[in-house]
Amino acid sequence: MSKTEAVVSADDRLSTFQSIYEEHGGYVRKTVYWLVHDDAVDDVVQDVFIRVWRNIDRFRNESSLRTWMYRICVNAAHEHFRRSPRVAEETKIHEPELPAHDEDALSMHEVIRKAILRLPAKQKSVFVLFYKQELSLEEVAESLGIPLGTAKSRLFNARNAFIEHLKRNGVDYEKQ
């Protein structure tokens, strides 16, 4: 590689990285928000983009960048809980800090978020990608690198656990 090529390549890499951040940062944050509690969102989003940086050359040839980004989000969230198992446990009783909104909406949002955060990690990933990010089951399976049948099974269990949690809090989502 010539000196000029080296410089161009480095500039190009940074420029590509910034484009990815600007284009994908929004839904990355939103996805991470449903996977980890508030205190960890910034750290996990940062971890996501460090992973992007490490693999940026592979990204350039990736046809479905968004699918890959979702996988990185999920992996970074899992890694966060793996590094801090106590945090995973605390998530079960964590009360999310939310900005001030309409009281009813805030209350329902809290119930929903708590129900999602309480799901086991693998079920939670499938649930968030399917119901919150509205991916198809095939896309969920591809994003997570799991067989379609596994994705279906996890979604089935996650959905039941989620609805059960809502019911325990007096919420029937079909009547809301």
Partner 1 sequence: MRNNDDAKLRSFLARHDMPPAPASRGEWNRILDAVENEESRSLFARALAFAKGRRMTFVAATAVAALLLAVVNQNLTSQPEAPTASSDDMTELYLADASQYFDESAEAPGDAYLELIDI
Q: Please list, residue by residue across 123-134, b when 16 or more beta carbons sit within 10 angstroms of its beta carbon and e when fewer do.
A: bbbbbbbbeebe
| Spatial distance between the Cα atoms of 95 and 97, rounded to a whole number of angstroms | 6
Residue 67: which residues within 8 A CB-CB, separation 6 or more?
139, 142, 143
Q: Say whether residue 109 binds partner 1 (CB under 8 A).
A: yes
Q: Say whether residue 100 binds partner 1 (CB under 8 A).
A: no
Residues 2 and 46 sit within 8 Å (Cβ to Cβ): no
Q: Say whether residue 25 binds partner 1 (CB under 8 A).
A: yes
For partner 1, the binding residues in 29-88 under the rule CB under 8 A are 29-30, 33, 38, 41-42, 45-46, 49-50, 53-54
| CB closer to partner 1 out of 86 and 169 | 169
| CB closer to partner 1 out of 93 and 100 | 100
| Spatial distance between the Cα atoms of 54 and 10, rounded to a whole number of angstroms | 13
The nearest distance, CB 84 to partner 1, in angstroms, is 18
| Spatial distance between the Cα atoms of 24 and 69, rounded to a whole number of angstroms | 8
The nearest distance, CB 53 to partner 1, in angstroms, is 5
Considering only CA atoms, which of 68, 62, 69 is closest in space to residue 24?
69
Footprint on this chain of partner 1 (rule: CB under 8 A): 1, 3, 6-7, 9-10, 17-18, 21, 25, 29-30, 33, 38, 41-42, 45-46, 49-50, 53-54, 98-99, 101, 105-106, 108-109, 112, 130-132, 134, 159, 173-174, 176
